Amino acid sequence: MLRGLFVTGTDTGVGKTVVSAALLHRFARVPALRYWKPVQTGIEQDDDTADVVRLSGVGDDRVVDAGVRLPRPLSPHLSAALAHTAISLAPLMDLAWSRDDTTHWIVEGAGGVLVPLNEHDLMVDLITVLGLPVLIAARSGLGTINHTLLTVEALRARAIPIAGIVMVGEPNPDNRIAIETRAHVTVVGELPRLDPLTPEALQAAATAMTGFAELDSYFS
Q: Give the active site residues.
A: 37
Contacts 24+ apart (CB under 8 A), 197-201: 197/18, 197/55, 198/55, 199/54, 199/55, 199/56, 199/57
Helix axes of 48-56 and 199-208: crossing angle, nearest 10 degrees: 70
At 13, which amino acid appears?
G
Distance CA 162, CA 219 (A): 15
Distance CA 121, CA 193 (A): 33
Residue 49's H or E segment, with its range, is: helix 48-56
Distance CA 162, CA 152 (A): 8
On whether the CB atoms of residues 104 and 34 are closer than 8 A, the answer is: yes
Distance CA 207, CA 184 (A): 25
Residue 84: Cβ-neighbour burial (10 angstroms; 0-12, 13-18, 19+): exposed
Backbone angles phi, psi at 162, to 5 degrees: -115, 120
